[in-house]
Amino acid sequence: MNAKTPAAAASTSRPGAPGKGEKPAEKAAQEAQATTPQPGAKKVPATVEPRPCLCGCGEQITSKKGLFRPGHDARMVGQLTRAVVAGEMTEAQALERLVPASELLKAKVTRSIKLNVEKAAKKAQEAAAKAEAKKASSPASENVTP
């Protein structure tokens, strides 16, 4: 009764021999090791078609999700805010230019517009008060003729 069972035969075969001698767990470990990237290996980025930055600068973006180059979202907020305060466009038109952007960026533009409109109104009010004060103090000197 020297007959070996199939499991015993598999365990006694050569370790490097292909096929029958490998245990399923060992085979799975070898496959996992072959597909797992090595610690020092560089990840190859997926190729993305370059597209222009949304701020209008003309620079190209190569990331999958990005709409702006770094810092250019703030640049666009400033451009849109100045245009609205100067009366070149309405707030609705400014927000319309941000259609593909996030809701947070739209909220930032809205908040920036509100603050800058208030700042411009306060500045105009101070200038008017200064002009009024200057006008009130100068009538005495205007009546004198040389």
Please give the DSSP secondary-structure letter assigned to residue 98. Answer: T
Domain around 72 = 51-130
Question: For residue range 117-139, what is the model confidence (pLDDT) as tens digits?
Answer: 999 999 999 999 998 888 888 76
N-term to C-term CA, the chain: 141
Residue 116 is assigned to a structural domain of this protein: yes
Q: Residue 79: which pLDDT band, with cuts at 50, 70 and 90? A: very high
Residue 105 is assigned to a structural domain of this protein: yes
How many structural domains are present in the chain?
1
Q: How many whole angstroms separate alpha carbon 137 and alpha carbon 76?
A: 44
- 111 SS3 class: helix
Which residues does 117 contact at the CB level (< 8 Å), separation at least 6? 84, 85
Q: What is the mean pLDDT of residues 58-71?
A: 89
Residue 14 is assigned to a structural domain of this protein: no
Question: For residue range 20-46, what is the model confidence (pLDDT) as tens digits?
Answer: 555 667 766 666 666 666 666 666 556
